[in-house]
Chain A
Amino acid sequence: METILAIVIGGLYGTGLYLMMRRSMVKLVLGLALLAHAANLLIFVGGRLVRGVPPLVANGAIAPPDGSADPLPQALVLTAIVIGFGVQAFLLVLLKRGYTLMRTDDLDDMRTTET
């Protein structure tokens, strides 16, 4: 299953990057969102996959059952998801503000600071 997910991750990176190379600001944001998904999945898969044994300690037990999933990548991904959300919310508002100011979604029109 790791192999398949590796392909999915590659696909997410590819489409994300493709969207980022478009001229539309909205596509850019969508692309970044895909990139974030890809990175999160990558960390998750990097810690290897385990089916159906979450790292929870049963009431009264001392440790999670043997063969339970690696909890650390999960914690890392959780942090990354939340951070990603914060960034994305800001990005969306930036996009909105940009559109209100410039009345365009075309990134090629946004070169006034450099030319």
Chain B
Amino acid sequence: MISGFALAVAAPWLSRIAGKHGGNLLAMLPAVLFAYFLGLVQPVTGAGPISEITRWVPTLGVDLSFRVDGLSLIFCLLITGVGTAVIAYTGAYLASHEQLGRLQAYLLAFMASMLGLVLSDNLLALFVFWELTAFTSYLLIGFKHHEDKSRGSALQAMLVNGLGGLCLLAGVILLSNIGGNTSIVALIGQADAIRAHPHYLAALLLVLMGAFTKSAQFPFHFWLPGAMAAPSPVSAYLHSATMVKAGVYLLARLSPVLGMTPEWVGIIAPIGALTMLIGAVMAFFLTDLKQILAYTTVSMLGALVMLVGINTQESMAAAMVLLIVHSLYKGTLFLVTGSVEHGAGTREIGELGGLRRAMPLTAAIASIAALSMAGVPPMLGFISKELWYESSLQLALGGIPLVAASVVANGLGFALAGVVAYGVFFGKPAHPDPHPHDPNFAMSAGPLLLAGLGLVAGLFPGLLIEPLTGAALTAMAFDASHYHLALWHGINPAFALSLLTFALGAALYTGRERVVANLGRLAGMGRYGPKRLYELSIQKSLAYARFQTNLLQSGYLRSYVMVVVLTSVVMVGLSVTWDKVQSIVVPALDVRLHEVLLAVVILGAALMMARIGASLAAVAALGVVGYGVALMFYLFSAPDLAMTQLSVETLSVILFVLVLRSLPEAKSLSSRSTRIRDALVAATAGGLMTLFLLIVLSEPFQSRLSGYFNENSAPLANGRNVVNVILVDYRAFDTMGEITVLAVAAIGVYALLKMRKGEGGSR
């Protein structure tokens, strides 16, 4: 099993080489995998799940533990089976496209991720594949990347899925924290504890966000029709068998862990039902074949979610069968749409009709699929619908709205099946196109196979479907030993509902044009839907982002300085407590007159600088400050410092003068109020610094280092000037850095002055 998966992961690279040799060759890979999984049906249904673990990131609790049970096997078969058809189809459909190789690669990568998703027993590994499907589908949806619309749709799909993905991530982490494990099997063992945990509801909601976005549930459904920008075979793959079913898979997979609670049923089933209705109604008003299929897909996804939400053995069985049915007929119909577009050049139902004569094979395929979609016996679709009604009817009073919604949605589905098959292929040729024709073998084989399977499975449900769904039920912790599947259930309430559905469907089909014309005006309401919300939220976030960024990053250095100063004041101020301020001890004023005078001169010179601003006089004042500080150093036992400060100050004054002579006298640029405001801020900062220093100075102080320096300088370090010894010996490393700074500054001065304009050439 591992080998099969490894091959699939390697597929993108293989396909790049083989890409030019046509799609059929590449379709071999999923075909082989399909056969492989088919071979697993017997062992899995007989002997139980097969699992295999490879350690991956044990540090973070992520392992590649693959597990094949009934549930995953159904998905695997669908993924590889439909995958085979789609990949073969694509090779022919886009035969002359220069990026065909890439598309095939993405398809295979997508398939591999999907397989990984359904096979993983480790929640986190599952999440990894979950996101991978999202991203590979992004690449697929944006395949026609030169079109704005494609890029927009791809982004939209990715963002909606990304949102869900992030919630799911949080949910997954939360779940594994609660359960103390990342293995789903292990979590099932802890299910009771998890359901009783205070974080249960949060975890459930987060997981549901993931599932609902992926499976296009209301109000996240809009990305799915948008994703129709992709080429038809891609749509067929993503929206029939794979991508969108991942959410359903996740719910089914986690139902033994999170399910069986009022919250589960109460949240999931209504949302599923609502989605089902909305999808069906919207589809009814559309005229583009692909869009119709997209919305019916939304509708069926809603149905699936609803059934999983009901969470009884019957509903789960119904969901499994519906899942298979839907994948088969919807995959077929998308591919057929591709063929129609390929042959007739349009997808508008108004411009299509009577294609039966030109495309007999396609017409036949479409009819079979449509019958299954309509749920007519002896198709598998009929069985699924029966099961569905049965399970809904089992619910008590609360089930009535669900049953009603189901009937309406199915009725609409019936009518739409008529639209896509009967309306297009039978009836009068609406728009005689020059060359409608049946596509070649590669393009027909796939849909034919899928449609055929639906028929065969309906006639012999016990052959494959029954053991599979049975095993899936076992995987979902139901006792499936008495489980049985049959085409004919006898005359019961479910059958009556089926008949009602047919009647409603037929009525809707015949009356469709009138209904659409009358209610068409309401279709404009779609503008206010969640899609609009998505667009608005993107727009508003962008606008806000620009606004805030322009506000903060205004380009005014002085406001940056101001913010930095205020931040420092606030942060330091936060921590300076009042009792500390009170504890300041002002030592007995041990001062000498000349020292005080010096201090006054320094301060005075500085204040003068603030008043006179930018001129040579200000530089002179700066010099006074510098020399004053040097003198202060000298007075307080630091002759080395004084000497250095003196020479450095002289040198900087010279440099200042050298530079300033080429500059004009500065004017006062700010208004008086600004100056006052700035002065207040600056004074606060300065005052805080004084306060802070005073607090520190009030404490007793003992250097832990200086005694050692004093004792050892002369005997051990051969120097009597302790400061110099520190500089060239104890802390010579600092001095090394210091002279490096000087060297760099010299290079900098040189570089800036030698560089001529236009030589930078960086932009």
A15 to chain B, nearest CB (A): 4
* Chain B: interface size category: 35 or more
In this complex, the member of A37, A52, A55, A105 whose beta carbon has the largest number of chain B beta carbons within 10 angstroms is A55
Taking CB as reference atom, which chain B residue is nearest A58? B720
B452 to chain A, nearest CB (A): 65
- Give Cα A84–Cα B726 distance, bound, in whole angstroms: 19
Interface code A14-47, partner B: CB below 8 Å = 1, 0 otherwise? 1111111111101110100110011011101111
A14 to chain B, nearest CB (A): 3
SS class, residues of chain A in contact with chain B: helix
Q: Verify A82–B738 contact, CB threshold 8 A.
A: yes
Q: Verify A3–B589 contact, CB threshold 8 A.
A: yes
Q: Verify B626–A37 contact, CB threshold 8 A.
A: yes
B727-754: which residues lie under 8 A (CB-CB) from chain A?
Answer: 727, 731, 734-735, 738-739, 741-742, 744-746, 748-749, 752-753
B439 to chain A, nearest CB (A): 56
Taking CB as reference atom, which chain B residue is nearest A10? B690
Contact residues in A for B749 (Cβ distance below 8 Å): 89-90, 93
B710 to chain A, nearest CB (A): 5
Contact residues in A for B633 (Cβ distance below 8 Å): 44, 74, 77
Q: Within the complex, which residue of B645, B669, B686, B757 is in contact with A10, where a contact is CB–CB below 8 Å?
A: B686
* Total A-B residue contacts, Cβ distance less than 8 Å: 305
Q: Verify B666–A24 contact, CB threshold 8 A.
A: yes
Interface code B709-724, partner A: CB below 8 Å = 1, 0 otherwise? 1110111000011110
A-contacting 9-mer, from B16-24, B31-39, B89-97, B699-707: B699-707
Interface code B558-600, partner A: CB below 8 Å = 1, 0 otherwise? 1001100100000000000000000000110111100110010
Q: A15-B607, A62-B714, A93-B659 are in contact. Are A82 and B644 (CB under 8 A)?
A: yes
Q: Verify A27–B666 contact, CB threshold 8 A.
A: yes
- Give Cα A12–Cα B554 distance, bound, in whole angstroms: 28
In this complex, the member of A44, A59, A63, A68 whose beta carbon has the largest number of chain B beta carbons within 10 angstroms is A63
Contact residues in A for B697 (Cβ distance below 8 Å): 2-3, 6, 45-46, 48
Q: A28-B557, A45-B697 are in contact. Are A71 and B723 (CB under 8 A)?
A: yes
- Give Cα A34–Cα B721 distance, bound, in whole angstroms: 29
Q: Verify B720–A57 contact, CB threshold 8 A.
A: yes
Q: Verify B558–A21 contact, CB threshold 8 A.
A: yes
Q: A21-B682, A82-B738, A93-B753 are in contact. Are A71 and B726 (CB under 8 A)?
A: yes
A103 to chain B, nearest CB (A): 9
Q: Verify B589–A8 contact, CB threshold 8 A.
A: no
- Give Cα A113–Cα B734 distance, bound, in whole angstroms: 36
Q: Verify A33–B622 contact, CB threshold 8 A.
A: yes
Q: A6-B694, A63-B714, A74-B723 are in contact. Are A89 and B689 (CB under 8 A)?
A: no
In this complex, the member of A19, A75, A99 whose beta carbon has the largest number of chain B beta carbons within 10 angstroms is A75
B612-661: which residues lie under 8 A (CB-CB) from chain A?
Answer: 613-614, 618-619, 622, 625-626, 629, 632-633, 635-641, 644-645, 648, 651-652, 655-656, 659-660
Taking CB as reference atom, which chain A residue is nearest B625? A37
Contact residues in B for A53 (Cβ distance below 8 Å): 637
Contact residues in B for A2 (Cβ distance below 8 Å): 587, 697
Q: Verify B556–A71 contact, CB threshold 8 A.
A: no
- Give Cα A44–Cα B592 distance, bound, in whole angstroms: 19
- Report if B687 contacts A (CB, 8 A): yes
Q: Verify B745–A30 contact, CB threshold 8 A.
A: no
Q: Verify B726–A61 contact, CB threshold 8 A.
A: no
- Give Cα A15–Cα B686 distance, bound, in whole angstroms: 8
Q: What would 6 A/B residue contacts be, using CB atoms closer than 8 Å?
A: A10-B691, A12-B602, A17-B561, A26-B618, A57-B713, A113-B555
